[in-house]
Every structure is written in structure tokens, then in C-alpha cells.
Chain A
């Protein structure tokens, strides 16, 4: 990884963090009509995976999907405006947080149903293979989805057909309010790859370099016809499941401990130690990301809602 990439990863993480904190403010003030599931603390996963994807590679995401969209190249304005249901959003304000799509850059949906994005990414990978391309599909999902039948069926078929897909399980320790240890038969979700004869790795999802390295290996397999990989990135959901969730089900001390292993702080320290970055460079990058997020929020709030007579545009006609 060269220095430019190291800084780019930091910028992506900062952009995601600042956009999410801006959405928290918009939510409190009634500008977000739907529930808001924020990605704070998990930024290293979206950044580390998507930095190596091409614009023609595709991803599917989840209800906690704003970060994946930004990392794949969606302008912050389009994301925030869509979450606020405005006409200037990526889906004209008709999708919202759990239907963020931008096919021209490979964002094939932040799908709100748990586990439902996994077979979609698998199907996209099948299409890519049948079209004889070297494109790759990535499915982001959580620890809860790894206990869903769609996960197991998709891994099986992707293995049998050697599909160019990367399954990225973001284990943030909670499926809504259910702790992963209460609901999951294995200690490492990455171990489940063995059942489907594919490589599986478990990495620290708050260390962007670990995520990056695991993705690099998975991408090289996928692009050369060797089939899928399962990456489990272990992280922690530092906010509630939704904005307003007091997360009273956490173990005492858990949140404080997780906050001390912040992905942005980890990478910042590493880059300073390596001489890639100075403290003041970091402050400048953080201020730039915050200014962009504030500008995007103002843009969203100043944008109109879609007009009633446009209701049938961009929507499915059955």
C-alpha cells in the first residue's frame, strides 16, 4: 500500500464519520423521515474493502449502509439528501436510507431486510461470470445475517459455481439487541467458510490495514476465477441499533473499551508513527470532512421533496 492510499483510507473514514454525525443531528431535528442506523466506529471496513474496488465492481449493503455508499464513491450530498427524502438524493428522494442505489458506480442497494443483500450480490456475481468479465461483487452484511438461511445458501452456490463474490461479514457484536454470543454457534464467523470449501478469514475490522490485506487476497481470487471468499471483520457498534436506542443491553464497560479502539484513531496514530502524516495534517483532513458534511446537510435540507406528480418516476410499475 503506497502513502497516497494510506491517506485516502483515512479520508474515506473521516468522510463517513462526519457524514454519519451530521445525519445524527438531522435525525434529532426531524429531517430524516425513516429510522437512522448509523455506521460510526465501523468505517475501516467500508474504507478498506471499497478502496480496491473498480467503479464497475458492485456491492450490496444493509440497513447500516451509508458508509459503503460513500466508500464506493457516492457524493455525500446525494447520500444525505436521499436519507432526508429529498429530490436531489441518489434515488430522487423515493428510496431513503434503506434503499440507496447508484448502479453507475456499482451501489446495488442498501437493502433493509437482514441477509437479503447476500443472494443479490451472489446473483450479480453469476451475471458477471456469465458475461465473462473480471468484475467482482461484494456483499456487506452483519453478524445477525450470518445466522440467516440466505447466507448459507449463497455461500454454497457461490462455491459450487466459483463466483466472483466477496462476502464481508461485519461482526459488530449485536443483531439489534441480541449479542452475537447468544445467537451464534461459532466463535469465529469466518470459520463457517470451511462448510462451503472456500477460504474464510477473521480480521480486526477496526484496523483498516487488516481489512485491506484480506480484501486484496479475496479480490485476486475473485478476479482470476478462483471463486468466493468469506471475510469476517470484527468491530463494535458504538451507537445504538437506531438513533434513540439507549442500548441498555450492553455489558458494562463494553462501550468504553470499544471507544478506545477507534478505527480512525488507530490509523491516524499509525500514519503519524510511519511519518506519513503530522498531527496538523490530520486536523486539516478532519476539518475538511466536517465542512463537506455540513455543506451536504445544508444542501439536503434546502432541497425540495419530490413533487406528487412525479410519484411514478423511478418507481416500479406493476
Chain B
């Protein structure tokens, strides 16, 4: 099952963050708990762990995107071998989250 990774909210005052670096490339295997990326919040640069195991199927945001609002999709983790329709996965996520 494909999981959408969002710009995490890390701190009560954080409204947006920037991707500093992806530690994984598209197609790489990812283990839950592994460092997936680092982000810049309003207060600090933080390493963020993967919440799911699988394959980093799609990166939707990079450092070039600048500030991204919290809870905006930034990547998709899929099951190994799973083929996904990126637009469909993001659309379903948005309708589920009511955003």
C-alpha cells in the first residue's frame, strides 16, 4: 500500500518547512525508523525518520521548492514492486484528509 509522506509539523509554531536534503533516492529501499530527509523548520534543522518501510517511490518536493506548508505531500513510499499512479495516490490522500 502506498503511503504519502507530508512536510511534518515539528513544533507548535511551525507552519512550513524547507527540504534540506533527501538521504534516499527514488527507487531506494527504506526501513521504518531510518533517516529519510532533513528539513529546516522555523527553529532548527532536523533529521526526519521514515514512518513506513518500503520503497521511496516518488519524491514530490526538493530543496528547490523552498518553503512547503506543513502536511503538504512531499514523497510517496510504496510496497516493493508496487506500481503507483502518483496523481491518484495524492488525490486520494487529499480527499481523505479533507484538504
State the A residues within 8 Å of B (CB).
21, 25, 27-30, 34-35, 242-246, 248
Contacts and interface: CB of A to CB of B under 8 A. Distances in A.
Given A28-B10, A242-B11, A245-B44, 20 more contacts: A25-B51, A27-B10, A28-B9, A28-B51, A29-B8, A29-B71, A30-B9, A30-B70, A34-B12, A242-B12, A244-B11, A244-B14, A244-B41, A244-B43, A244-B44, A244-B46, A246-B44, A246-B45, A246-B46, A248-B44
Nearest to B49: A24
Interface residues of B, number: 17
Contacts of A30: 6, 9, 70-71
B79 interface: no
A250 to B, nearest CB: 13
B16 to A, nearest CB: 13
A28 B46 contact: no
User: Could you tell me the dominant secondary structure of chain B's interface residues?
Assistant: loop
B35 interface: no
Interface string B51-66: 1000000000000000
Interface string B1-41: 00000101111101000000000000000000100000001
Contacts of B43: 244, 246
Given A28-B51, A248-B44, A243 B71 contact: no
A56 to B, nearest CB: 37
A25 B71 CA distance: 12
6 closest pairs, A vs B, by CB? A244-B10, A244-B11, A28-B8, A246-B44, A25-B51, A30-B71
Contacts of A27: 9-10
B48 interface: yes
Nearest to B44: A246
Interface of B: 6, 8-12, 14, 33, 41, 43-46, 48, 51, 70-71
Nearest to B50: A25
Contacts of A245: 11, 44
Contacts of A21: 33
Nearest to B41: A244
Contacts of B71: 29-30
B35 to A, nearest CB: 14
Contacts of B44: 244-246, 248
26 contacts: A21-B33, A25-B51, A27-B9, A27-B10, A28-B8, A28-B9, A28-B10, A28-B48, A28-B51, A29-B51, A29-B71, A30-B6, A30-B9, A30-B70, A34-B12, A35-B12, A242-B11, A243-B10, A243-B11, A244-B10, A244-B12, A244-B44, A244-B46, A245-B44, A246-B43, A246-B44
B13 to A, nearest CB: 9
